[in-house]
Amino acid sequence: MIGRLNHVAIAVSDLDAATRVYRDTLGARVSEPLRLPEHGVTTVFVELPNTKIELLEPLGPESPIARFLARNPDGGIHHLCYEVDDIIAARDRLKADGARVLGDGEPKIGAHGRPVLFLHPKDFCGTLVELEEA
């Protein structure tokens, strides 16, 4: 059901500093920052030959990323994103198998302009999983 790894998301408290590390120190190509108020974050994508890294900075204290950083002040891996062909079919299959979909269970539009859903980490080996329709 899942396809390729779309990205690994890393929560950071200083997006500019994190972007400099990937761009200047590691020599990676990075996107311009993109504010996503509906998700409570500003994001920068680091382009790699085989996947992407998504750097996430909270947009305010109510952001899920702000809560993550309160528990993990140094930041760290927040979630893994996998592509699926049909997000509704994937959601329905996962729910039928007992997996918990976060939020209201309806896809939201993500940073790539495609529908996304998040799955509860307790159902996936302690890892928050994002599904993105390919």
The CATH number given to whatever domain includes residue 106 is: 3.10.180.10
Token representation of residue 90: 């994937």
In the chain, pLDDT over 70 holds for what percent of residues? 100
Provide CB contacts within 8 A for 133, sequence distance 6+.
Answer: 83, 84, 85, 86, 87, 107, 114, 115, 116
Q: What angle do CA 1, 105, 120 make, to 5 degrees?
A: 70
Overall average pLDDT of the 109-132 stretch: 97
Q: What is the pTM of this model?
A: 0.94
Instruction: Provide the domain limits for residue 121.
Output: 5-133
**Whole-angstrom Cα distance, residue 82 to residue 15?**
23
Q: What is the pLDDT of residue 124?
A: 98
Overall average pLDDT of the 99-126 stretch: 97
Domain count, the chain: 1
Q: What is the pLDDT of residue 91?
A: 98
47-58 pLDDT, tens digit per residue, is 999 999 999 999
| Active-site annotation, residues | 130
